[in-house]
Structure 1
Amino acid sequence: MKISDLRLTVIAMPRNTGFVCKHVIVEIDADNGLTGIGEMSDFSHLPHYSLDIQDMAVVLKSILLGQSPFDISLLNKELLSNFPETMFYYEKGNFIRNGIDAALHDLCAKSLGISVAEFIGGRIKEKIKVCYPIFRHRFMDEVEENLAIVRERLSKGFDTFRLYVGKNLDADEAFLDGVKKEFGSKVTIKSLDFSHLLDWKSALKATKRLSQYDFQMVESPAVQNDFEGLHHYRMNTEYPVSEHVWSFRQQSEMIKHDSIDIFNISPIFIGGITAARKAAAAAEVAGKSCLIGTTQELSVGTAAMAHLGSSLVNLNYTSDPTGPELYIGDIVKNPVQYENGYLLVPGRELPGLGMELDWDQINKYRVDDLSWGNVSVHQLQDRTSQTKK
Structure 2
Amino acid sequence: MKISDIRLTVVGMPRHTGFVSKHVIVEIEMDEGLTGIGEMSDFSHLPHYSLDTRDMKAVLKSILVGQNPFDITLINQELLSHFPETMFYYEKGNFIRNGVDAALHDLCAKALQISVADFIGGRMKEKIKVCYPIFRHRFMEEVEENLKVVRERFRQGFDVFRLYAGKNLDADEAFLDGVRTEFGSKVTIKSLDFSHLLDWKSAVQVTQRFSSYDVQLIESPAVQNDFEGLRHFRMKVDHPVSEHVWSYRQQYEMIKHDSVDIFNISPIFIGGLTNARKAAAAAEVAGKSCLIGTTQELSVGTAAMAHLGSSLANLNHTSDPIGPELYAGDIVKNPVIYENGYLLVPGRERHGLGVELDWEQIEKYKADDLSWGNVSAHQLQDRTSQARK
TM-score, normalised on structure 1?
0.99
Q: Could you say what the CA RMSD is over the residues aligned between the two structures, in angstroms?
A: 0.6
* Alignment partner, residue 329 of structure 1: 329
* Alignment partner, residue 256 of structure 1: 256
Equivalent residue runs for 1:176-255 within 5 Å: 176-255=176-255
* Alignment partner, residue 48 of structure 1: 48
* Alignment partner, residue 297 of structure 2: 297
Distance 2:364 2:76 in 1: 32
What is the Cα deviation at residue 372 of structure 1? 1.8
The superposition leaves residues 289-331 of structure 1 with CA deviations (integer Å, 9 ceiling, x where unpaired) of 0000000000000000000000000001000000000000000
SS in 2 for 1:67: coil
* Alignment partner, residue 132 of structure 2: 132
SS in 1 for 2:149: helix
> Are the equivalent residues in 1 in contact too, given 2:191–2:215 (CA < 8 A)?
yes
* Alignment partner, residue 282 of structure 2: 282
4+ long deviations beyond 2 Å: 386-389
> Are the equivalent residues in 1 in contact too, given 2:41–2:298 (CA < 8 A)?
yes
Distance 2:360 2:351 in 1: 22
The superposition leaves residues 262-284 of structure 1 with CA deviations (integer Å, 9 ceiling, x where unpaired) of 00000000000000000000000
What is the Cα deviation at residue 58 of structure 1? 0.2
Equivalent residue runs for 1:310-329 within 5 Å: 310-329=310-329
What is the Cα deviation at residue 348 of structure 1? 1.9
1:359 aligns with 2:353: no
SS in 1 for 2:184: helix
What is the Cα deviation at residue 388 of structure 1? 4.2
* Alignment partner, residue 384 of structure 2: 384
What is the Cα deviation at residue 349 of structure 1? 2.4
Distance 1:134 1:265 in 2: 20
SS in 1 for 2:352: coil
Distance 2:388 2:279 in 1: 38
What is the Cα deviation at residue 387 of structure 1? 6.3
Distance 1:109 1:18 in 2: 36
* Alignment partner, residue 175 of structure 1: 175
* Alignment partner, residue 82 of structure 2: 82
* Alignment partner, residue 341 of structure 2: 341
Distance 1:240 1:299 in 2: 30
SS in 2 for 1:45: coil
Amino acid of the residue matched to residue 117 of structure 2?
A
The superposition leaves residues 308-364 of structure 1 with CA deviations (integer Å, 9 ceiling, x where unpaired) of 000000001000000000000000000000000000001122200001000000000
Identity of aligned residues (%): 83
Distance 1:386 1:54 in 2: 30
Distance 2:282 2:345 in 1: 24
Amino acid of the residue matched to residue 68 of structure 1?
N
* Alignment partner, residue 159 of structure 1: 159
- Total equivalences in the alignment: 389
Distance 1:289 1:265 in 2: 10
Distance 1:262 1:74 in 2: 29
The superposition leaves residues 235-270 of structure 1 with CA deviations (integer Å, 9 ceiling, x where unpaired) of 000000000000000000000000000000000000
> Are the equivalent residues in 1 in contact too, given 2:87–2:246 (CA < 8 A)?
yes
* Alignment partner, residue 63 of structure 2: 63
The superposition leaves residues 182-239 of structure 1 with CA deviations (integer Å, 9 ceiling, x where unpaired) of 0101100000000000000000000000111111000000000000000000000000
Amino acid of the residue matched to residue 24 of structure 1?
V
Q: Which runs of 5+ in 2 are unaligned?
A: none
Q: Which runs of 5+ in 1 are unaligned?
A: none
What is the Cα deviation at residue 386 of structure 1? 2.9
